[in-house]
Chains A and B, each alone.
Chain A
Amino acid sequence: MLSATWQVVRFELQRTFTAGRIAMWLTLCLFPALLVATIQIQGRGNVPDAAMIVVSFALVPQISCMLGLLLWATPAIGSEIEAQSWVYLALRPHGRLAVALGKYLVAVIWTASYGLPSAVAVSLLSGLANPLHLTGALIVLVLLSCSCYAALYLLIGALISKRATVIAVIYSLILEGLIAWVPATVNQFTVSYRLWSLLVRWTDFAQLVNANQGAGLTFNSEPSWFNVLALIAYAGLVLALALYVVGRREYPVLSEA
């Protein structure tokens, strides 16, 4: 099973070296840094630090990582069905699980491979007096973001093999883009809430905006290890669920001509 998964990772990474995918990688890697640089130029270096922290968070571990994972993790199963290759993979004893797990890992690796340099570039361009705090925080957040969203999108793709990307985008906009910022208990079940809580804890954001207890409803005051553990548990649980679905579900295969 593990060697089959590793083979899927190797095979899928090999397939990433196409002009289109390399162009996509470069775009997703560079656009956050270019946007931050533009903001700094437009603001003539007077952009508030708190705003730059928010922008960096929104651009790298959120938008940029989510976009990459939407491209890789969501169609993990659907693309094989569309390419009529699912039947070849499903006929291998551990084919279904190896493909799902392997593609999850590829999605994380591919997204992290541009997310990490992008995080470094964004924090260095942020204009903060001490950008290293932000760099370290963004690096960890990128890894956590990739792990959680890849599992989530894989699950969505496993459940809905057609138009999974559309559903995943809608889910992300509503749950992770909107509900996560609603000061209510429900936001605690989103990845964004945990990631943002970690960033607030690991940077000077709270001091910069004088956040009081009320403002803390969009982030928590739990210890960092708790939020990290919650995110790892989230990723593990959702990934296990996705693998269960892929292992059990009958996907549409070629019908009679």
Chain B
Amino acid sequence: MTPLLKLNHVSRFYRTVIGVGDLNLELPNGAYGLVGPNGSGKTTLINLLTGVLAPSIGSVEIMGADPVAQRDVLRRIGLCPASDILYPNISALQWVEHLTILQGFSQRDAYQRAVDSLVRLGMEANMRRPIGSYSLGMRQRTKLAQATAHDPELLILDEPFNGLDPIGRHELTEFLNEWSRRGRSLILASHILHEVEAITAAFLLIHGGRILASGDASEVRSMLSGFPVEVCLRGSGLRRVAAEIANEDWLQGIDVEHEPQQLRIRVSDQAAFQQRLAQLVQLPEVNLTSLESPDGSLEAAFDLLLRVHRGEHLV
């Protein structure tokens, strides 16, 4: 089966700056979160996937086609970019209709699709007003309407939650979940992890123009199991705990802090540490009030991946 996208040693340079570097990836159809901090290369990757940019090195295939040379594949993609709409005098209906006609639809079809798409996104009451009078949330819905009016197989969204109020975020989450349930593919770029987690469990972590990890949360957790993590203990008897574990093989570092009183431990083997900790808490002078460690959430995994990427904790 043709993969959704295939990146073969893709690099993109902006003169001497690396936008993305040596990306190798093959993904089947599905919903993916593209997660990374601002400036990590998400938009560059999206521009490569949509043929707006060509790779400096390597090749990009999306649904089996090169998006730069075989531009017909663009009919199968809907893009909701991060950039705002700056056509103040045009209504959402006119704009979405215009872009749908440019996808190859007749004027009548395009009009109907534009109306349907805007109504589906809750813009029925406002779609004939000029875009200049819209709130940020309305403009986001309008952008999403132009991306979905031609019923694409793959929807790519770049920071779609920006500027949305909580209700708007919830509605967009529902819309994207429904999109995925219909078997359509989705790539959602965001720097806000919980927004991605609400829509898909599969994600690509990108930072510094490189994909740090891909897969679902459990795959990334197992990938990280060999990497050191930091655990913070609070309570009394922490000096005794420190003394007891000082010679353990899995201990990579230890800091005793007094304000507040806590023990920061860097361990290379979480399972061994947890076993030892279970013994230590039975000591009479040890009374732990809290233990903080990566909880397996996407945010924690991402934080750890970034540290690994930067070379921290790798002694």
Contact (A92, B103) CB under 8 Å given A84-B86, A254-B81: yes
Judge whether A256 and B43 touch: CB under 8 Å.
yes
Residues of B within 8 A of A4 (CB): 101-102, 104
- Residue B119 lies at the interface, judged by CB distance under 8 Å to chain A: no
What 0/1 pattern do residues 76 to 101 of A give for CB contact below 8 A with B?
00000001110111111111001000
Whole-angstrom CA separation of A92 from B99 in the bound complex: 8
- Residue B235 lies at the interface, judged by CB distance under 8 Å to chain A: no
Quick one: which of B38-78 are within 8 Å of A by CB? 38-44, 47, 50-54, 71-72, 74-75, 77
Judge whether B74 and A91 touch: CB under 8 Å.
yes
- Residue B25 lies at the interface, judged by CB distance under 8 Å to chain A: no
Whole-angstrom CA separation of A85 from B99 in the bound complex: 11
- Residue A213 lies at the interface, judged by CB distance under 8 Å to chain B: no
> Which secondary structure dominates where chain B touches chain A?
loop
- Residue B205 lies at the interface, judged by CB distance under 8 Å to chain A: no
- Residue B127 lies at the interface, judged by CB distance under 8 Å to chain A: no
Which residues of B are in contact with A by a Cβ distance under 8 Å?
38-44, 47, 50-54, 71-72, 74-75, 77, 79, 81-87, 89-90, 94, 98-99, 101-104, 106-107, 146, 159
Task: Count chain A residues whose beta carbon lies closer than 8 angstroms to a beta carbon of B.
Answer: 27
Contact of B47 (CB < 8 Å), options: A15, A83, A88, A253: A253
Residues of A within 8 A of B52 (CB): 87, 90-91, 250, 253
- Residue A229 lies at the interface, judged by CB distance under 8 Å to chain B: no
- Residue A11 lies at the interface, judged by CB distance under 8 Å to chain B: yes
Judge whether B86 and A87 touch: CB under 8 Å.
no
Residues of B within 8 A of A87 (CB): 47, 50, 52, 79, 81, 83
Which single residue of chain B is at the shortest CB-CB distance from A257? B38
Contact (A18, B102) CB under 8 Å given A84-B83, A87-B79, A256-B44: no
- Residue A212 lies at the interface, judged by CB distance under 8 Å to chain B: no
Contact (A95, B83) CB under 8 Å given A11-B94, A14-B94, A15-B90: no
- Residue A207 lies at the interface, judged by CB distance under 8 Å to chain B: no
